[in-house]
Chains A and B, each alone.
Chain A
Amino acid sequence: MMATKNPTSDIFKLLPELKALQDQVAQANRAVVALIQSVADLDDPGIAALFGISPSALTDLRNARTSSFNEAIQSGIPLFTLRITDPSVLSALRHNFGAEEVFQAIMSTIPSQEIPRGTR
């Protein structure tokens, strides 16, 4: 019966480092969800753009409760993706924060649908 109730408990005894990592992921998820909900509550288009949140997602987030994300938070799977993974950007972050690569990485998630691609 216990095994049915909590089928992963035994396997996590064998893999303590995985359990610790998933706990850390859950903690980060909780912080990220709290942060984006604060952004949604602000209802500020510029701050939302910095987070890559579109106006329609902003409305969705404003209407959602933190508790509705609980299952996802606890899943152990990161709910966020890293904006900065390119080696040149990682290097620039440490040594040259004003580099073009850093600005490109930051701007790549700013919603810009209304901005034309070109005028040809």
Chain B
Amino acid sequence: MARDNPLATLVGGELARMGARSATIYSILKSPRLCGRKMTNALARQVYLDATGKSSHSGLLPSSTSWYFDGSRRIMHASFILAMAWAWRSLGPEEAFIRSYAVYWRMTGGQHGADKDGAREIPADRAWKLVQDSLLPMQNWVEAKSKGHTAATPVIRLLRCKSCSVPIIASNSMLSVTCPVCRKKQDKKQD
């Protein structure tokens, strides 16, 4: 079944090897720009099985937004993934995610980079949730702001650090943001 769909096998297989569950693979590849209606949950499960040799975990995908703000390292890694996806935003969230996570995955050691539990700081499922929920709302929000219009503030968006200007994730309640590295430096100065 999976062999009949080379794109699903190739892209889905790589996503599975990067740690994405079959539900995430389905969610990404069902995009009309990728496999469209040919992608089904069953095909995603088969692609996962073929790529990893085991069945994908079932159950709900992670959905908490506060998770991304839990710890300096997590904030920086999530910011990097979303900043790269932002650079590829013209391709749509699915392709932007595939590219940004591939860069992140390689950067954090490729197949040898996972920690002892086999997970990255930002696992593929969490990264997809971040890009899926943030990229388009952020595009609309930035566009509206540039035209002087009002738009709903995305639940998570990028803002530039007040001190060093790197793009950092911010929740919709944060009006400005300081990156964890600058915050650490400021805390040291105050001590």
Contacts and interface: CB of A to CB of B under 8 A. Distances in A.
Interface stretch (A11-19, A23-31, A68-76, A107-115): A107-115
Contacts of B176: 117-120
Interface in A82-106: 97-101, 103-104, 106
B160 A104 contact: no
Given A110-B83, A112-B160, A98 B77 contact: yes
Interface stretch (B15-23, B31-39, B161-169): B161-169
B42 interface: no
B76 A46 contact: no
Main secondary structure of the interface of B (DSSP, over half): helix
A99 B87 contact: no
Interface residues of B, number: 40
A111 B83 CA distance: 10
B84 A49 contact: yes
A52 B153 CA distance: 27
Interface in B73-88: 73, 75-77, 79-80, 83-84, 86-88
A50 interface: yes
Interface of B: 72-73, 75-77, 79-80, 83-84, 86-88, 90, 96, 99-100, 103, 107-109, 121, 142, 145-146, 153, 158-160, 162, 164-167, 175-177, 179-181, 184
